[in-house]
């Protein structure tokens, strides 16, 4: 079993990378479980900066799915080379920032240890500072609905202000990445070549 925790701010390319990972897993004919932020992070939005215990319980429930799959007896004639992969988009690093705060990563240490036990790896997609406003704000406004515009307006009154928010969030993600015991890699997404970026991540994921 091998797993990937994929982190990054809005517009960093997580959805594009997951699209290529799905294609890779299909071609490889392996078992996969991919949970996007709709399953991992968004259910906890009502608890922003308020209830880390609920956040931790939610993450543990998701990890229990992996645990159950891992402990399920394999068929007698199962191919020993058949692999199982899991991908969690926006997991414990995002939860820590959104709900507990940067200084409280220790609350998520058990989650981090469970991920490590499942041979998970951590990838943070990094957006260059001079591209954050275009990719995290302007571009997302063009492709999302009115509620998204309203959400960004709650962060700051100008695109520049929202961009500063996401830049600070990215810096905090990188700090948390250093605190995690999971093998990690920061991927520069300047060129937006998602196939090349995904191949780089796949190589990292498969590295023993």
pLDDT of residue 82: 63
* Percent above pLDDT 70 for the chain: 95
Winning range, highest mean pLDDT, from 52-56, 60-64, 142-146 = 60-64
Q: What is the pLDDT of residues 67-123, one digit of tens each?
A: 998 887 776 665 655 688 999 999 999 999 988 889 999 999 999 999 999 999 999
Q: Which domain covers residue 121, as residue numbers?
A: 2-72+81-206
171-177 average pLDDT score:
97
pLDDT score of 73: 74
Q: What is the pLDDT of residue 76?
A: 63
Average pLDDT of the chain, as a whole number: 92
Q: Which pLDDT value is given to residue 45?
A: 78
Average pLDDT over residues 155-177: 97
What is the structure's pLDDT at 204?
A: 98
What is the number of structural domains in the chain? 1
For the segment 149-175, the average pLDDT, to the nearest whole number, is 96
- The Cα-based distances of 149 to 31, 132, 145, 146, 198 in angstroms read 37, 16, 7, 5, 29
- Can you give the pLDDT at residue 97? 92
How far apart are the C-alpha atoms of 73 and 144, rounded to whole Å? Answer: 43
Checking if the pLDDT of 49 tops 70, the result is: no
CATH number of the domain bearing residue 122: 3.40.50.300
Check residue 46 and give its pLDDT.
Answer: 76
pLDDT digits (tens, 9 = 90+) for 119-142: 999 999 999 999 999 999 999 999
Report which of residues 6 and 78 the model is more confident about. 6
Residue 153 pLDDT class (50, 70, 90 cuts)? very high
């Amino acid at each position: 079993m091998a797993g990937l925790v994929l982190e990054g701010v809005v517009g960093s390319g997580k959805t594009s990378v997951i699209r290529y990972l799905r294609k890779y897993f299909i071609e490889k004919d392996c078992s996969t479980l991919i949970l996007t932020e709709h399953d991992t992070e968004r259910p906890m939005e009502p608890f922003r900066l308020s209830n880390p215990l609920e956040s931790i319980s939610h993450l543990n429930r998701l990890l229990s799915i992996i645990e159950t799959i891992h402990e399920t007896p394999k068929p007698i004639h199962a191919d020993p080379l058949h692999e199982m992969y899991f991908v969690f988009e926006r997991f414990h690093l995002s939860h820590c920032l959104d709900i507990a705060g940067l200084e409280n990563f220790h609350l998520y240490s058990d989650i981090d240890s469970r991920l490590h036990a499942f041979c998970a790896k951590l990838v943070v997609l990094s957006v260059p500072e001079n591209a954050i406003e275009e990719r995290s704000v302007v571009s997302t406004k063009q492709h999302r609905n009115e509620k998204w515009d309203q959400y960004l307006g709650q962060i700051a009154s100008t695109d520049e202000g929202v961009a500063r928010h996401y830049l600070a969030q990215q810096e905090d993600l990188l700090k948390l990445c250093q605190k995690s015991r999971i093998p990690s890699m920061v991927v520069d997404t300047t060129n937006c070549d998602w196939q090349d970026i995904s191949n780089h991540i796949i190589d990292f994921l498969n590295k023993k």
